[in-house]
Amino acid sequence: MITKRIIPCLDVKNNKVVKGIQFKNHQIVGSIMNLAKKYSNDGADELVFYDISASTEGSIVNKNWVSKVADVIDIPFCVAGGIKTLEDARQILNLGADKISINTPALINPNLISQLSNEFGSQCVVIGMDIKFKDAEAYLFAKTGNEKTAYCTNKKAIDWLLQVQDLGAGEVVINAMGQDGVKTGYDLELLRSLERKCSIPIIASGGAGGPDDFIDVFKKTQVDGALAASIFHRNEFSVGQIKEALRANNVNVRI
């Protein structure tokens, strides 16, 4: 059967990899190429690059680094941030990305999802869902690359999930904003509440602090992959160490 995926996430700002806590206070953690090569050699199943300079500043920025990444790694990777049109997506895919992920532009124009899916195939189209609780209900947030621009939409997470699925999305990343960078574990309750209705692959995001969090998310939910940033960027654990721990706990991973 298919293996569970471990996906390092690289937030990119001005051509450097950065990391913040709960989407704030971004610090430079390294160069795009060095980290891409390192994670790929460590056994990452794919990589996600989130260009946070793009989505909050309203423009698609210079993406030449995408083709450089495509030249140095031989695993799939996804690019997110600032993709608003079919042409933006085509540009990124032609530079060598395997998937594109969209968040705010899909919330503003849901039909973009079906256009992308018809044009490039659903396997290319990932929807990022940034979620926070308000009155015990999970809502979607938009423009989350910068705390000043982030706002709560009136869309409930479960409704949006069903809608993007119908429109032809090939995968969703469920990002629990409250858990971002705090390393206290994935939001298992949120994931369980969403996965019941989900027929496309789900990637868990936000909260990974150590091997036990990965073991928990794969043992206690049905997610297909888990995304993490801080623990890899700070060399607390390698992708290989996480996978060894998962295999020792009978989670099917590629080693």
- Catalytic residues, which ones? 11, 130
CB 169 within 8 A of CB 125: yes
Residue ranges that bind other proteins, judged by CB under 8 A: 1-5, 40, 45, 67, 70-71, 74-76, 90, 93-96, 98, 120-124, 170-171, 198-202, 224-225, 254
Q: How far is the CB of 21 from other proteins (least distance, A)?
A: 29
What per-residue string of b and e applies to 18-44 under the rule 16 or more CB within 10 Å gives b? bbbeebeebeebeebeebbebbbebbb
Nearer to other proteins by Cβ, of 154 and 199: the residue is: 199
Q: Count CB neighbours of 70 within 10 A.
A: 16
Nearer to other proteins by Cβ, of 140 and 226: the residue is: 226
Q: How far is the CB of 189 from other proteins (least distance, A)?
A: 21
> What is the C-alpha separation between 155 and 103, in angstroms, rounded?
13
Nearer to other proteins by Cβ, of 3 and 249: the residue is: 3
Q: How far is the CB of 74 from other proteins (least distance, A)?
A: 5
Q: Helices 211-220 and 188-195, interaxial angle, to 10°?
A: 30
